[in-house]
Structure 1
Amino acid sequence: MEHNLAVGLDIGTTKIVAMIGRKNEYGKVEILGIGKSKSLGVHRGVVNNITQTIQSIQQAVQEAEAAADMKIISVTVGIAGQHIRSLQHSDYITRSNSETVIDDNDIDRLINQVHKLVMLPGEEIIHVLPQEYKVDGQAEIKEPIGMYGGRLEANFHVVVGQVSSIRNVGRCIQSAGLNLEGITLEPLASSNAVLSQEEKEAGVALIDIGGGTTDLAIFRDGIIRHTAVIPFGGNVITEDIKEGCSIIEKQAELLKIKFGSAWPGENKDNEIVSIPGLRGREPKEITLKNLSKIIHARVVEIVEQVYVEIKNYGHEEQKKKLIAGIVLTGGGAQLKHLKQLVEYITGMDTRIGYPNEHLAGDSDEDITSPLYATAVGLVLDGLKREDRKKIEQQQQKEIEEAEAPKEEIKEKPVKERRSFLDKLTERVKDFLDNAE
């Protein structure tokens, strides 16, 4: 695979998407190929049937390869699912010498300390995101590097997940004949694809309504402040329609997509849809009003749970207010009148998020559907990793050159701090290599 190419693999509950993208000369991303398959082995964002998931991954990958006419070797994958939870934690270190300035090593030491947090059995820290620092009691410091101080504290947003679930995803990818290039938290990926920098500064909640889970990511002052995964999404709406109207799932899904609305007042009493009965049975007549009542009840439940999480973050405090409101994305965001309902329940400004924030202008309309937010985000993340690898190789070369005897003294290049996800990816890779 050539450089500045990346492949995102979104392993969802309803669909698996493989997407190949590359950076064009303007720094925008062009999507070269996309493959999609029905996801059979995933329940609520967690793999529960390895064999089926591997087949679905291979199918999506082959479709994307055919569309782009190239071979996929490695992928960046997203993790979500009901096992993800997040917590706030503060920690501090005391520096032995307060007459030197704070550097990367101090911050690494502080972050590694957070890693010693005691988790529930089987859980592992996926992400440690520093929120703000304190140096010798002086609060609200965004970047402590270069400052003097004896005591360095920070508040952290810690994301935790079940390590077995993450390894299972790794296993599926490996068995599908692919390399695991990187792991990213799905709400983070989606937010990169649909949110603008201004929104992240002003304060915004991204709600990604998938088939099996609804992910939430809250940003303020450009930093992620809160993440949560709510263990239901569009599938429970389909379930309810199926039960409420006594029809089969396929029909319920079609009804939801074609005629569904989250706002019952919209439909007249006399609007009726007729559904063919099962072999030799009478067709069923369903009023759209009843249909939207069923949908409405479920959507309200999902939105209210998300709103509880937004309040938990502290949206009601002046300092934490989310000025840019809510952005809805994911396949579930395509439901008619959802935006109005969310505004009504939360009282916050709402828009639908299309993943075109970083895509090249002439991208296909299909690709910019909210359905593909996570996949586009994973491609962006993969491209970022590519860039980082290039920079690191470049620096390695410079260091080697600099160490050759020369007259002038070169500045040592700055090494970028590796994120937890990179470390986690390596751990999962090592585990898979040794677990044969």
Structure 2
Amino acid sequence: MKHRPTPPISSLVESDRVHRDVYISEDVFEQEQRRFFAATWNFVAHASQIPKAGDYVTLDLAGRPLLVVRQADGSINVFYNRCAHKGSKLYTNESGNAGKVLQCAYHAWSYRLDGKTLGIPLRQEYAESRLSQCKSGQGLTRVGAAEVYRDFVFVRLDEDGVGFKDYFGESLQWLDNMADRSPSGRLEMTGGVIRNTIRCNWKMYLENINDTVHPVSTHESAGKAAKAVWEKQPQKSSMPISVEQMLPFASGYDFFTKMDAEVYPNGHSALAVKLSTHTGYAYPQDYLDALSATHGEAHAMEVLSKAPQNSVLFPSIAVKGAPLVMRVIRPLAVDRMLIEAWSFRAEGAPELLSERAMTYNRLVFSPMSIVAHDDVHLFESVQQGLQSQGNEWVSLHRGTNGQPEQVTQTMPCKGTSELLMRNQFQAWAKYMAEPVQE
């Protein structure tokens, strides 16, 4: 396809359709890196990954290397992972413990855990220099803002912008819902992270998370296989976790059309709050008793009664409270993304819950799963198909009457409505229009 100028960002998103350039334009992706991901709040780590002072994790967010560090007082700081001297990454391991001092391997400049400069070799040779007036002499640079909510660590790269609670609003209830499945209200990451690199634009994956119409056709073979296996078992057989989790994929349109949804400002959403493929999970009585003793019976039952199919905290995570799993979306290029599947253990809960989480990730999100390969094949097919000539627009018409929609507060809708996707693009266009902070 011949190169052509990218239309202005404001022309790429309409009330019921989006231009293909939001998925395939290198120029648009470059602007997303600078504008969108800097202006929004994104997940970077879970506190359980760094329990001790000096523990750290590293990651890249929108092309910026970050360093998340546990402080001596128990708080968490997030810095750009670059030495103030020459810019070398301080740490290249995915995680570790730095002890009491952060030190660069290049020239041995060192920093306190709070980022303040501690040691500079041959410091006397800087005595008459301007180093103390330069940013290089002022230590590590923190990200614009960081917030820890229920042990989930989020950052906003820009120094100025929307506040954490103003940005997420009612969508934070789904982190509460997941954390409150622990009698102590605490979660910890368990079982490692399953990673899958997909050759598609990151927005395709987020749209699919909120698409209840595709499972009937896309995952038909997986659902039929699970159903055929279970039907051969003797009556009153104990249902294995894998069957419990796979049978819903055999559901037809009649099941998915019964699903409800809620959309929130800034692109967030909860799909299938009252009825989902996770509704009806069984729990041991001693766990129910422990949950009620801590949270009160009414709140405990409310927590377990809500098992959304997917709750999206746009643009970086999607959580499933009932199986205690989370997906993290990591854009890598305009046509490449990394998806991470995380499992959690609910402190004080039976191991059944942890087993359910890890089984679900292996069955549904692993690159070798019998479900994910269906989606991956189609995501990559869409990415290739959008390069073709002809229609330049992608339809988001389902569930709209053609009138503009503005999500300014919690709005209920049908689970099959593409309002959930239109809401994401409203937020994307809004923050793409924000001025770039230098």
* Structure with higher RCO (Cα < 8 A, 6+ apart): 2
The structure richer in helix per residue is 1
Q: TM-score range by the shorter chain?
A: under 0.3
TM-score, normalization by structure 2: 0.25
